[in-house]
Amino acid sequence: MELNHTHDASRRSWLESANAAGCDFPLQNLPLCIFRRQGSAEAWRGGVAIGDQIVDLAALHGSGCLQDLAAQAAHAAMAPTLNALMGLGPGAWQALRHGLFALLATTSPDAPHVRRTLVPQAAAEFAVPVRIGDYTDFYTSLDHAVNCSRQLGLEVTPNFDWLPVAYHGRVSSIGISGQQVFRPSGQFRLDADGVPAYGPCQRLDYELEVGAVIGTGNERGRPIPLANAQQHIFGLCLLNDWSARDIQAWEMQPLGPFLAKNFATTLSPWLVTLEALLPYRTTWTRAPGRPQPLDYLRAEDNAATGAFDIRLEVSLLSARQLAQGLQPRTLSQTSFRHQYWTLGQMIAHHTSGGCNLQPGDLLGSGTISGPTRGEAGALIELTASGTQPADIGHGEQRGFLEDGDTVVFRGWCEREGFVRIGFGVNHGTVLPAPVPD
């Protein structure tokens, strides 16, 4: 894909809220979701964000405003998930986005018809936008790996330089923004030489990640080459990989996380297409002195445009602050460009042994942290394992999450000469550990 008229910053929409400064969803974005009106028994169906509204793709298809492949794509998006649309391939995804761009631009003669398909975002509820077959969570931030290893008196494992480390996560507990997250229970060891205890997690954490949804997969036994890997991504979202640090520290040797990660993963509702993000691709490089990847994880395009400059922010709001109507306190800000491995490299390595990805498969980027403390993507880094609590405002501090806390992620892209592209909000609230029956 190359830059085209849909990236033109001078183009505006007839919907004024889409033209407002700081808007997450201008004409140049058009991310997709699955929604219905709040409190209704309506069927779940696909929608596209524009300003503070949602274009109901089922209603738009019925209006006859879209033609040919764009109409076929809109029809596929009338389902309760976006998998059928993703299965049509990149040509259909682009046709739908370009068709919507034309209909929502100020020059559109069909504006009165399209306006009748709009649903206010404030009046909608959202569902996980795809049927996720498999979920793979990576570990690809060198800054995060170094910070966490130092706290344990360890070095980053040698394989980190050579491959994108990952584990397979749990699909059944993946939810959408607004998810209520029960504090997990499990085994942990308070004394390094003592007997483990069982009970509610005492060191609950968030992990700031980007989620990538696979649009088209590959045949089993046919690896995806790095040069083509980005073409297999349908869109990106914000992902919170909730983590129970005390349970994780005890259970993860030798096979990796289990109960510490399987209790909840929260996604933002909107899938921002890679076409919308083209202006924000950036170079990917390795720090001086670090090993260069093996040949199957190296490509000219990956070095030139394999990374994405997605700016990310974590905020926290306590139950008391929420009750008082206060705003969440920003804890950290960073960028996805810091990641040690690119999304393309994750896909190339994932399939290199013959694994077949399928439409709707979810990849988590792993915690996204930058080189400074203020760019930490998790509390375990920000607070040095709770020994240096973070100020969350109004006289409260946090080493790890407490019951009632709401974690808020935001993401956006900005670059001179282009329109700001936003990801919306990903938020989730911690509830007390459930009592067994």
Q: Which residues are catalytic?
A: 144
Identify the bridge partners of residue 362 per DSSP, sorted by sequence position. Answer: 135, 213
Spatial contact of 409 and 400, defined as CB atoms under 8 Å apart: no
Whether 137 has a binding-site annotation, put simply, is yes
Whether 241 has a binding-site annotation, put simply, is yes
| Of 111, 115, 102, 74, residue with least CA distance to 8 | 102
Whether 52 has a binding-site annotation, put simply, is no
Whole-angstrom CA distances from 295 to 184, 281, 345 are: 42, 22, 11
The helix (run of H) or strand (run of E) holding residue 115 is: helix 111-115
Spatial contact of 404 and 319, defined as CB atoms under 8 Å apart: yes
Whether 209 has a binding-site annotation, put simply, is yes
The DSSP line for 221-261 is T-PPPGGGGGGGEEEEEEEE--EEHHHHHHH-TTT--STTT
Spatial contact of 186 and 382, defined as CB atoms under 8 Å apart: no
For 150, the 3-state DSSP assignment is: helix
Distance CA 354, CA 46 (A): 32
Whether 139 has a binding-site annotation, put simply, is yes
Whether 248 has a binding-site annotation, put simply, is yes
Q: In the structure encoding, which two tokens stand for residue 305, read together?
A: 């445009």
User: b/e string for 364-378 if b means 16 or more Cβ within 10 A?
Assistant: bbbbbbbeeeebbbb
Whether 193 has a binding-site annotation, put simply, is no
Distance CA 287, CA 308 (A): 17
Distance CA 220, CA 296 (A): 18
Spatial contact of 401 and 379, defined as CB atoms under 8 Å apart: yes
Spatial contact of 51 and 15, defined as CB atoms under 8 Å apart: yes
Whether 198 has a binding-site annotation, put simply, is no
Whether 207 has a binding-site annotation, put simply, is yes
Whether 367 has a binding-site annotation, put simply, is yes
Identify the bridge partners of residue 363 per DSSP, sorted by sequence position. Answer: 136, 212
Spatial contact of 160 and 341, defined as CB atoms under 8 Å apart: no
Angle, vertex CA 40, rays to CA 34 and CA 45, nearest 5: 20
Annotated binding site for Mg(2+): 241, 261, 265
Annotated binding site for substrate: 139, 150, 248, 367
Annotated binding site for Ca(2+): 137, 207, 209, 241
